[in-house]
Amino acid sequence: MSKSEDLRAVAPALENYAQKYVLGGLWKRPGLSARDRGIVTVAALIARDQRVELPFYLGLALDNGVKPAEISEIITHLAFYTGWANAMDAIPAARDVFKSRNIGADQLPSTSGSQLPLDEAAEAQRAARVDQQFGQITPSLVLYTTDALFRDLWLRPGLAPRDRSLVTVSALVATGQVAQITYHLNRAMDNGLTREEAGEVLGHLAFYAGWPNAYSAAPIVKEVIEKRPR
């Protein structure tokens, strides 16, 4: 049976909503490109460890312009922001999608090589602030936040900073991690995410992470947007 037939056999109203609001409406809204919607959806599914729908949306993301190297980087990035096991759980689905499309190692990012430029002054301020807050309590967390995340992962060129921020914000909203949204949404907007796009991310994630997660994040997104200069 096809997915539509499965839905009709169990929850015909759900199929109607899927056609009417999701694939027939949400994905066609102009405030966020189809490519970005693919990134947001894949990030949300991996963050929530929802593997059944992942192959379909990985394929849709690729169809809408997300590159195989970017898919690889999204999975790697989310190992740090949603847990190693969630990233590992996404590997079989991505492997099968890549295999079905003849995507080989030559299309995937290198494990090493040149990095994006680092804003040394801003990073020094961030590191000092975090060390002052938490250095005496959890020095390992402070160390790896600096060395593994901000001086390594965030500088990998396989995913543009704006897209890496989009992945991070999407994962935070999808998992209800609202305490981290302010920092990362500001970083996303510094990296080029627009006010309209930020709002559309919430509307999109309401369908893929649930209305409670979207509405829990909405006041924080609103505050960030309103405090930023127009």
Q: For 26-81, write each residue's pLDDT tens digit.
A: 999 999 999 999 999 999 999 999 999 999 999 999 999 999 999 999 999 999 99
Q: For 140-181, write each residue's pLDDT tens digit.
A: 999 999 999 999 999 999 999 999 999 999 999 999 999 999
Whether 202 contacts 173, CB under 8 Å: yes
How far apart are the C-alpha atoms of 119 and 149, rounded to whole Å?
Answer: 14
Whether 170 contacts 39, CB under 8 Å: yes
Element (H, E) at 3: helix 3-10
- Residue 64 has, within 13 A of its CA and on its CB side, a CA count of 20
Q: Look up the pTM and report it.
A: 0.95
Q: 2 is written with which tokens? A: 């096809």
Whether 176 contacts 44, CB under 8 Å: no
